[in-house]
Amino acid sequence: MRRRAAALAPVLLALVAPAWAAAADHAPQAARVQCVTACAGAHRVAPGSTVRWEGRHLAAIKSVRFSAHGGRENVDPTASRGNFVTARVPRRAVTGRPVLVGSRGQQTYAKAVLSVVSRHRVLSPNAFGLLHSRARPHTAFFDGHQVRVSFRFAARGPRDVKVKMVRASTGAVVDSRVLHQVTPFAKHVLRWTGTRGGRSIAPAGVYEVRIGRPGHKGTHAGHFKLFPFEFPVRGSHSYGGAEQRFGAPRSGGRVHQGQDVLSPCGTREVAARGGRVQAEGYDPVLYGYWLVIDGRHTRTDYRYAHLEAPTPVARGRRVRTGQTVGHVGRTGNARTVGCMLHFEEWPRGWENGSPIDPLPDLERWDRWS
């Protein structure tokens, strides 16, 4: 019997251990704590203030234990979800680190200490102050990465917050958005595309972000530049000489239909304008690996040629401004000249129209990107 028990022991441990591990994995964990209503600060509260803890597996929290005059005081949560729990500060609470208590007695708490102050220290009902804000990226492009505005503000409790995009050169508000009942002191993120209904509402230029209460001018919260195109070669480059220009004579009576941008092989190439890949392929005699992008909200098609390898974006695929479409190569007839991007602009469509000299556009895009 002893031998049998000894043989069964590892099996029993193997069966029980995963249950222990699972219980440990789902133990409540509080990472952050902050005041939500009747606040004197992010971690400054008064009796009657609502406090919010954020973390993991917090739906199991059944009570919150505050340090209090004469000992400790337990209160029931006012709300409880998997990633947060809220509770009201009791009348006798004092400064300390409240403990969150689970249904099986497990305990957790956030590292921040809650300072309990008197009710007259609570912020006034109309108080609003921007604590932190940032707008990224500093340079954005139409149909490219969204502008990301992050901010925190101080207030007595949740507030409606208005975020405005202001054109710096004119002071005109090109877009605004009201965020309803936003929690104070927490980090909030708003993403802006510069479009409405898929079309641009923001001309090229510098923009200021202003944040405040509806009906007020708002506080400066960052700035960024917005442009309609991004230069397609993301590395050192030059425009070569007369042979690389649009209209330069070629053998067989042809003329050069684009502008060559000389750059080291392997340099990343991006979509100068987002849109849809209209065609792609390989021409061993002239263009090597190439693709054509139908520019979004334009009639213009843009052709990229002499890529190092087949483009990673297939025909019919949607691409964004600044998205990688290939790398500088020397395929096709560029093998006798050197590494380059051959770039063409077709303002009435690649299949039905005629190309124009893209150099003025390339030089303009080059200046800002």
Token output for 300:
């213009």
Q: For 19-28, 45-54, 229-238, which range has the lowest pLDDT when averaged over its residues? A: 19-28
Q: State residue 19's pLDDT score.
A: 44
Helix (H) or strand (E) holding 210: strand 205-212
pLDDT of residue 353: 87
Structure confidence at residue 278 (pLDDT):
96
pLDDT tens digits for range 180-219: 999 999 999 999 999 888 788 999 999 999 999 999 999 9
Q: What integer pLDDT is reported at residue 15 of this predicted model? A: 43
Residue 17 banded pLDDT, cuts 50, 70, 90? very low
pLDDT digits over 303-338, tens only?
999 999 999 999 999 999 999 999 999 999 998 889
- C-alpha to C-alpha distances, 335 to 159, 244, 258, 331, nearest whole angstrom: 63, 14, 17, 6
Tokens representing residue 172 in the block:
């005109």
- pLDDT for 14 beyond 50: no
The one-letter amino acid code at 178 reads V
Whether 10 shows a pLDDT value over 70: the answer reads no
d(C-alpha 128, C-alpha 40), whole Å:
12
The proportion of the chain whose per-residue pLDDT surpasses 90, expressed as a percent, equals 82
Distance (Å) of CA 141 to CA 60, 91, 204: 46, 53, 9
pLDDT of residue 196: 86
- Helix count and strand count (H, E) for the chain: 2, 28
Cβ atoms within 10 Å, residue 330: 17
| pLDDT given at position 13 | 42
CA-based nearest residue to 193, from 201, 204, 185: 201
Predicted local confidence at residue 24, as pLDDT = 52
Q: What is the pLDDT of residue 369?
A: 86
pLDDT band for position 129 (50/70/90)?
very high
pLDDT for the residue 197: 81
Give the per-residue pLDDT at 12.
43
* Cα–Cα distance measured from residue 70 to residue 298, given in angstroms and rounded to the nearest whole number: 73
pLDDT digits (tens, 9 = 90+) for 130-186: 999 999 999 999 999 899 999 999 999 999 999 999 999 999 999 999 999 999 999
pLDDT in tens, 95-112: 999 999 998 889 998 889
**Residue 294 and residue 352 in contact, taking contact as beta carbons nearer than 8 Å:** no
d(CA 292, CA 304): 6
